[in-house]
Each structure stands twice: as structure tokens, then as C-alpha cells.
């Protein structure tokens, strides 16, 4: 969940303020605390701070420097737990993303050998274990390899040694890349930290370790290996706010383009995948918003003759015994680094199942693990909340579902027809209604959302968006479920958002009336106004694509609720963009 970055050059130093800006570009991965270490001759100098990075204004330059922005998993948010972490002799400074599962065992071993510990984090064992092995090793690299052999768990690591003009690195089940610039090398969790410097990147594989200075040395299983340099095709401007105050609003506004971009797919690839689905036992595996996207498209798959099992990735291991060569997995992830999903894909692969990924980040762990990839093509999504990636995922899943019975190009044209509706929904004029609604709801303690059929998934995603960013307790329910318990929560003035289809809407309107009779403040999301509604947001467009259209006003509502409450919509508390721990 944390972000790490290291800059290495033997000829061109970097201003520390610019390096801190590189760390800041990763703070969607964690923003509890941050820090950096740079080499000054044979000394390591470290700065560590709690909270988010504000305006980078550090003085000085460095040719070897590492940095970290933390999302706390082991240990509280304190200076002692903030990275970089140093060894007892201060000759090693290290940053780490991941979880060391046997840290207590290693901590006890190191204490028995005279080492002291000053924080609670699992990561603190790593620099001290390297120092321990340096006592019996001929080189820093040898000591590092011995350390890696003892670590159980996941990690992306970079560190500096006071006498070495190198940045050492390693990865296992946590993302790590190397940006290749003309006079520098940048080791980082994500390409967003260096995309404005270079689009050339090396994606490291599991088990890779080595170092960078004026060259790149990569080893795996004690043998030197070569990794190809890839080219990033993202637009650099997509990683910047431009005229928007927050990335969340920018990314909501981009959906008129990103839905179209998501449909730019190779028709032959789509045909291959849909033909595979027709003759397979299909599992769609995802977490969070990606899971809701799968549920949103489920009805279209069912209508077209396919019964997919939609499973949370963290629960997937229960299905292992049912998997075989006849199974096909659709794995969905924006980052391609969600650890639960990676583990699920590995389980499926070990049983001979075919893996098809819907993923945004090329070169990600999921993309490399999968047999076929459908890339979302939405560019970097910086806000922690999923907005444009969610609607892109739904669009791709609807394309797959429709292509079960139609040619892919016909299916694309059908989805492209809703772009004009997306254009209106993402416009400033449309957002004024949700901004007004946010003023009404800003002091609410609870918000409930309901829908039926494909709108049930929208209700779940809507509730997730609201609670993620505004911290208002929100729950999504199937309309038919409210009488089976949830209606007990309704009292005078309780806001209830109701997603109403254009056709066959009698049952959900009846559910809305039931809520209203118990005192609910009913907010209708529909094409036509109904007398049941106390507040109405108009959404035009065919029911088939309602999961794309009807979620957009709620994305905007969630944003404005956060703004009204003085919260940062790009970086909600306790959340990080890429969940790389279990």
C-alpha cells in the first residue's frame, strides 16, 4: 500500500524539493507519513515527517536518494515507524512496501544478537538483518541476498548503504519498476513518480533483486537476468490536475472520453475471449468497486445465456477444488497489483484455468500473470476512489456480455450511443443539482441506497462512494430486501437514494413509497420525476447502460459532500489506491 521511490545518477544530481515531489506523486498509495534519505559523501542523511506532503521546499541536491510515503499497517503513525528506517549502526537506510510475516521471529533473533528496536513496524527488521549478514558477507549484495532468503511475506525494497554508490532493490508480490532516463535511473512502486521524466520503464519480476547506479544489475535465483525496456503510452497530462482543484472531479469529468477509450479494443481479441467464455465455467473475480462493476454487468451476461460466478478475490480460495482446465477467470483490477486478486489468479492458474484480465496498468503483476489482457485505456487514476475506472470496467464487461450474441463492433456502437448522456452528466450544469443536494445531506449520519436488478449494483457502488469519501455511513440494498430488516433503520428525514429504471419500475417505486411512509427523505435517480421523490436528479439513457449513467451523479454527490465537510476527496482517511497487502 505504501509508495517507494529511489533516484540514482552518477552524473546528474536531483534537487531534493523535486525528489520530494516525486514522493508526493505516490501519496495516493499512502499518506500517513513520509520521508527520504540521501547520500552526502559517506554519510546518510534522513528527514522524516508525519502527515501528508504539503509544498516541497527542501534545500540541496543528491545523486543517490530514496523516499517513502506510508500507509500504516504494522505500527502506529509515529516518527519511529516512519520510513526510511535505519540499521543500528546507521550504515543502511531502507524503505519497504509490503508485509514481513515472520518479523517477530526475526526481531527476536536480532535482539539475541545485540540489536535494538525503536519502533513497532515489521519493516525495521530488514535493515538490521542486512547489517547482521554484512558481518559474514563479502559484499552488500551478498548480505542482501541472505536477508531476502530469510524474509517471509511480501516486499518491494530499496535501500542505501553509506559506503556504496548504488541503490539496492528487490521485489516479491509487491510492485516495483525502474524508470530509465538518459542520465538517471529511478526505482519506484509506480510509473506516476517518473512519467514526466521518462516513458521508458522496466517492470521487475517476482524474485528480482539487484542494484542501480550508472547501470542496472538484476538477479533472480542468484543468476543475472535481463528485463526488457517497455514504453508507457499514457498521456502525462492525465497525471496532473490541470484546471481542477482535485483529481476526483477531474476524473469524474473525463468519463465522456474514458468510456470511449475503454471500447477501443481489438475485435478479434474480444471474439476469442467470448468464444472461450461460451465453453467454460466462468468466474469473475474482483474487489471493491471492481466487484460492483462485475455485479452491474451480471444481468447482461445472464440475459445472453452465460452464468458467471462473481466472487470477492479474498474469498476465492474456497472455490479452488472446483477449478480445472475448463474454467475461465475474468480478473478485474485498475492497478493490477491488488494482492488478493493476484493470489486468486495464481490459484486458478495452478489448476489449469485460463486467466483474462481487465486491467488499466500495462506491465502490472496481473497483466503479466494473465493469458489475455483487456486494457482499460483510461490513463492514470490518481484519486484513491475509483470513478473513471469503474465506468470503464462496466463498459468493457458490457462489451463482453453483448459480444456473446453480437459482433463486437455492433456491441461497441451500441455503448457509444450513450456518450452524449455521459457528456451531460459530467458537465458543470448537471453537477449543480448534486452540489445543491450535498448541502441538504451534509449533516446526515446515514444514507441508504436501493435498486433492483442491474440498479442494485449501482446502489452498492453509490453507497461505497459516499462512505469512502464523506465518512457518512451509507449502505446499499436490493429494493426487495428493505422489508427484511433494513427498514428498521428508517426514521424521519433519513435520506434514501432510489435508482429507478425507465421500464418495469413499479416494484422499486413501491419500495420508495414504503420508505417514504416511514419518514424517509426520498431522492430519485431516474429519467422521469415521480410524486414519491422529495428530490430528483434526472438521468436519461437506456436501462441497459444504467450502471454507467446513474452512478455518475452519485460520484459528483460524494465529491461535493467531502468538500462541504472540509475533507480531501483525493485522499480519504485510512484508504490507499492499491491494496498490496492481505
Neighbours of 421 (CB within 10 A): 18
342 confidence band (pLDDT: 50, 70, 90) = very high
Q: What confidence tens digit (pLDDT) does each residue in 493-520 have?
A: 999 999 999 999 999 999 999 999 999 9
Q: 246-416 falls under which CATH superfamily? A: Glucose-6-phosphate isomerase like protein; domain 1 (3.40.50.10490)
**What pLDDT was estimated at residue 581?**
66
Position 577 scores a pLDDT of 75
Q: Average pLDDT in the 222-243 region?
A: 84
Active site residue 577: yes
Q: Is 365 helix (H, G, I), strand (E, B) or coil?
A: helix
Q: Mark whether 412 is an active-site residue.
A: no
- As a whole number, mean pLDDT of residues 219-245 equals 86
User: Domain-by-domain residue ranges, the chain?
Assistant: 3-232, 246-416, 427-570
Q: What is the pLDDT of residues 181-202, one digit of tens each?
A: 999 999 999 998 999 899 999 9
Crossing angle of helices 388-402 and 255-262, in 10° steps, is 30
575 in Cβ contact with 468 (< 8 Å) = yes
pLDDT tens string 250-265: 999 999 999 999 999 9
Pick left, alpha or beta for residue 387 (phi over 0 → left; psi -120 to 50 → alpha; otherwise beta). Answer: alpha
Q: How confident is the model at residue 113 (pLDDT cuts 50, 70, 90)?
A: very high
Q: Supply 196's cell numbers.
A: 514526466
- CATH superfamily assigned to domain 3-232: Aminohydrolase, N-terminal nucleophile (Ntn) domain (3.60.20.10)
What local confidence, expressed as pLDDT, does residue 17 receive?
Answer: 94
Alpha helices by DSSP H, listed for 426-545, are: 428-441, 454-470, 506-517
> What letters, b where the CB count within 10 A reaches 16 and e where it falls short, cover 515-546?
bbeeebbbbbbbbeeeebbebbbebebebbbb
What average pLDDT does this structure show over 142-158? Answer: 96
User: Average pLDDT, stretch 321-336?
Assistant: 96
Query: For 458-479, how does the pLDDT look when each residue is reduced to its tens digit (9 = 90+)?
Result: 999 999 999 999 999 999 999 9
Instruction: Write down the pLDDT at residue 42.
Output: 85
What pLDDT does 235 receive? 72
Spatial separation of the C-alpha atoms in residues 361 and 363, rounded to whole Å: 6
pLDDT at residue 71 in the model? 86
Query: 3-232 and 427-570 share one CATH topology?
Result: no
Give the model's pLDDT for residue 582: 65
Whether 146 has a pLDDT exceeding 70, the answer reads: yes
Tell me: pLDDT of 579 over 80: no
Average confidence score pLDDT of the chain: 94
In contact, 355 and 369? CB cutoff 8 Å: yes
Q: How many CB atoms sit inside 10 A of residue 43's CB?
A: 10
* 427-570 CATH, one of 3.40.50.300, 1.25.40.20, 3.50.50.60, 3.40.50.10490: 3.40.50.10490
Q: Which of 2, 287, 383, 496 is catalytic?
A: 2
pLDDT tens-digit profile of 13-56? 999 999 999 999 998 888 899 999 999 888 999 999 999 888 88
Residues with Cβ within 8 Å of residue 324, at least 6 apart in sequence: 281, 351, 352, 353
Choosing from 250, 388, 412, 577, the catalytic residue is 577
* Beta strand spans in 176-326 (E): 177-180, 185-188, 200-203, 209-212, 216-220, 223-225, 230-231, 281-286, 309-312
Q: How many residues does the chain have?
A: 582
Would you say residue 63 has pLDDT above 80?
Answer: yes
Is the predicted pLDDT of residue 117 greater than 90, yes or no? yes
pLDDT of residue 449: 98
344-362 pLDDT, tens digit each: 999 999 999 999 999 998 8
By three-state DSSP, how is residue 379 classified?
coil
At residue 216, does pLDDT exceed 70? Answer: yes
Q: pLDDT class for 236, splitting at 50, 70, 90?
A: low
For the segment 218-228, the average pLDDT, to the nearest whole number, is 95
Q: Is the peptide bond before 84 cis (omega within 30 degrees of 0)?
A: yes
Amino acid at each position: 500500500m505504501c509508495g517507494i521511490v529511489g533516484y540514482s545518477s552518477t552524473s546528474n544530481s536531483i534537487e531534493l524539493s523535486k525528489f520530494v515531489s516525486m514522493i508526493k506523486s505516490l501519496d495516493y498509495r499512502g499518506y500517513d507519513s513520509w520521508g527520504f534519505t540521501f547520500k552526502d559523501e559517506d554519510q546518510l542523511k534522513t528527514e522524516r515527517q508525519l502527515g501528508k506532503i504539503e509544498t516541497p521546499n527542501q534545500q540541496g541536491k543528491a545523486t543517490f536518494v530514496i523516499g517513502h510515503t506510508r500507509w500504516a499497517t504494522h505500527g502506529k503513525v509515529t516518527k519511529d515507524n516512519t520510513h526510511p528506517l535505519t540499521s543500528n549502526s546507521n550504515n543502511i537506510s531502507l524503505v519497504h512496501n509490503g508485509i514481513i510475516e515472520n518479523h517477530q521471529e526475526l526481531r527476536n533473533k536480532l535482539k539475541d544478537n545485540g540489536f535494538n528496536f525503536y519502533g513497532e513496524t515489521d519493516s525495521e527488521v530488514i535493515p538490521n538483518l542486512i547489517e547482521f549478514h554484512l558481518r559474514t558477507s563479502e559484499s552488500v549484495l551478498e548480505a542482501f541476498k541472505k536477508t531476502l532468503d530469510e524474509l517471509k511475506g511480501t516486499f518491494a525494497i530499496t535501500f542505501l548503504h553509506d559506503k556504496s554508490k548504488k541503490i539496492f532493490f528487490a521485489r516479491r508480490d509487491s510492485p516495483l519498476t525502474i524508470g530509465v532516463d538518459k542520465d538517471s535511473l529511478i526505482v519506484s512502486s509506480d510509473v506516476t513518480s517518473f512519467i514526466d521524466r521518462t516513458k521508458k520503464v522496466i517492470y521487475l519480476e517476482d524474485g528480482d533483486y539487484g542494484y542501480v547506479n550508472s547501470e542496472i544489475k538484476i538477479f533472480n535465483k542468484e543468476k543475472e537476468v535481463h528485463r526488457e525496456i517497455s514504453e508507457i503510452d499514457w498521456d502525462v497530462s492525465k497525471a496532473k490536475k490541470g484546471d481542477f482543484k482535485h483529481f476526483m472531479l477531474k476524473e469524474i469529468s473525463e468519463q465522456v472520453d474514458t468510456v470511449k477509450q475503454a471500447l477501443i479494443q481489438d475485435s478479434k481479441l474480444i471474439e476469442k475471449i467470448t468464444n472461450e467464455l461460451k465453453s467454460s465455467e466462468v468466474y469473475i473475480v474482483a474487489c471493491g468497486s471492481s466487484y460492483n462493476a462485475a455485479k452491474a454487468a451480471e444481468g447482461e451476461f445472464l440475459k445472453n445465456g452465460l452464468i458467471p460466478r462473481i466472487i470477492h478475490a479474498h474469498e476465492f480460495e474456497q472455490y479452488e477444488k472446483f477449478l480445472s482446465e475448463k474454467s475461465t477467470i475474468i480478473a478485474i483490477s485498475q492497478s493490477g497489483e491488488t494482492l488478493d486478486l493476484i493470489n486468486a489468479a495464481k490459484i486458478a492458474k495452478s489448476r489449469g484455468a485460463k486467466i483474462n484480465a481487465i486491467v488499466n496498468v500495462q506491465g502490472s503483476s496481473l497483466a503479466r500473470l494473465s493469458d489475455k489482457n483487456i486494457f482499460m485505456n483510461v490513463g492514470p487514476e490518481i484519486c484513491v476512489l475509483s470513478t473513471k475506472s469503474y465506468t470503464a470496467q462496466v463498459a468493457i464487461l458490457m462489451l463482453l456480455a453483448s459480444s456473446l450474441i453480437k459482433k463486437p463492433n455492433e456491441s461497441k456502437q451500441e455503448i457509444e450511443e450513450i456518450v452524449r448522456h455521459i457528456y451531460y452528466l459530467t458537465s458543470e450544469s448537471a453537477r449543480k443539482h448534486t452540489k445543491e443536494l450535498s448541502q441538504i445531506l451534509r449533516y446526515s449520519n446515514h444514507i441508504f441506497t436501493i435498486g433492483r436488478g442491474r440498479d442494485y449494483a449501482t446502489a452498492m457502488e453509490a453507497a461505497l462512494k459516499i462512505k469512502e469519501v464523506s465518512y457518512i455511513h451509507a449502505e446499499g440494498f436490493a429494493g426487495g430486501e428493505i422489508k427484511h430488516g433494513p427498514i428498521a433503520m428508517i426514521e424521519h428525514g433519513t435520506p434514501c437514494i432510489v435508482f429507478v429504471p425507465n421500464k418495469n419500475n413499479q416494484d422499486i417505486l413501491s419500495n420508495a413509497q414504503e420508505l417514504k411512509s416511514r419518514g424517509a427523505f426520498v431522492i430519485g435517480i431516474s429519467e422521469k420525476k415521480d410524486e414519491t421523490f422529495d428530490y430528483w436528479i434526472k438521468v436519461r439513457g437506456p436501462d441497459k447502460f444504467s450502471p454507467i449513467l446513474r452512478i455518475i451523479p452519485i460520484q459528483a454527490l460524494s465529491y461535493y459532500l467531502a468538500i462541504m465537510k472540509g475533507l480531501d476527496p483525493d485522499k480519504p482517511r485510512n484508504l490507499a489506491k492499491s491494496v498490496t497487502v492481505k
